[in-house]
Homo-oligomer: A and B are copies of this chain.
């Protein structure tokens, strides 16, 4: 079985690759598990820090380079994980770049799948940033996407395409709408949700972190560990269980920033909270505060997707996986 991960150099792509190496085989399309022979990690930079495993193939290139992507997909993969994206803050500031990567490159990839021999399983990293605005309170499985950012709009569009390309049999698609992923390893990035990881990650390492939103801000979140497990699970769910709706609001937990800081103190000591600078930022708030913090994700739970038991457990998993 051959797998391609677009966005393979990101923390999530690498986490997913490690998970795939660990499970060693995937049972897709109702077949018995088949051993994974190759995992290609494609990104604008080479994925680093991964084990020396003959199954891994690490490539760098531009996802908007149509010829490069065509060459890459010339040998049809069994499974594509599409995690590549211009993140929310960057797509808001650079509209054209966001459209090129988040919409046009995704559409080009789907078109190559359409013309490909065979029907690849196509797992797309969509986002709960497709929701927001005036109509929404608690998000149900049938709530309309009303994105309040260009990033959310682009994700919602690819969601629709994944559904139609699946309905027509061009791909066997699954679009997972990810909560904010906390605690991300590495450095702060241009995602407007970046702070949600920073306020835990930096203090745990004795560094200062900036919090651009108030302590009562609610965050709908999922840990990197759970999201990697959920991606693998998504590839293995039989199409019949998904039916005609290939979009899934992943499960998560709702936590206030205040509760996050409180759990940080409880796990790592009261002094950690003093490393957080409360610095309100109007641009970040103009996007983050439109994201609805409450979801009812009955369908995802019925389909076997997993959430974290508590935010304390999320912090402890981060310490174990990334800091020890």
- Chain B nearest CB from A321 CB (Å) reads 35
A30 contacts the other chain (Cβ, under 8 Å)? no
Encode contact with B along A153-189: 1 for CB under 8 Å, 0 otherwise.
Answer: 1001100110110011000000000000000000000
A12 to B276, CA, bound (A): 59
Which residues 136-164 of A have a CB within 8 angstroms of B? 136, 141-148, 150, 153, 156-157, 160-161, 163-164
The answer to whether A160 and B156 touch across the interface, beta carbons within 8 angstroms, is yes
Closest Cβ neighbor of A141 among chain B residues: B135
Contacts of A161 in B (CB 8 A): 153, 157
Knowing A243-B134, A245-B133 are in contact, say whether A163-B143 is a contact too (CB < 8 A): no
Knowing A141-B135, A161-B153, A163-B153 are in contact, say whether A146-B95 is a contact too (CB < 8 A): no
Which residues 211-266 of A have a CB within 8 angstroms of B? 243-245
Encode contact with B along A109-153: 1 for CB under 8 Å, 0 otherwise.
Answer: 000000000000000000000000111100001111111101001
The answer to whether B95 and A168 touch across the interface, beta carbons within 8 angstroms, is yes
The answer to whether A145 and B167 touch across the interface, beta carbons within 8 angstroms, is no
Knowing A133-B245, A153-B164, A245-B134 are in contact, say whether A145-B147 is a contact too (CB < 8 A): no
A228 to B134, CA, bound (A): 28
Contacts of A243 in B (CB 8 A): 134
Contacts of A136 in B (CB 8 A): 142
The answer to whether B163 and A146 touch across the interface, beta carbons within 8 angstroms, is yes
Protomer copies: 2
A151 to B200, CA, bound (A): 46
Interface on chain A toward B: helix, strand, loop, or mixed SS?
loop
A10 to B147, CA, bound (A): 32
A125 to B243, CA, bound (A): 29
Closest Cβ neighbor of A145 among chain B residues: B144
Contacts of A156 in B (CB 8 A): 160
Contacts of A153 in B (CB 8 A): 160-161, 163-164
- Chain B nearest CB from A222 CB (Å) reads 21
- Chain B nearest CB from A228 CB (Å) reads 27
A153 to B165, CA, bound (A): 10
A304 to B157, CA, bound (A): 29
- Chain B nearest CB from A128 CB (Å) reads 13
A-B contact pairs, 26 of them (CB 8 A): A95-B168, A133-B244, A134-B244, A135-B141, A135-B142, A136-B142, A142-B143, A142-B146, A143-B143, A143-B144, A144-B144, A144-B145, A145-B160, A146-B163, A146-B244, A146-B245, A147-B160, A147-B163, A147-B164, A148-B167, A148-B244, A150-B164, A153-B163, A153-B164, A156-B160, A157-B161
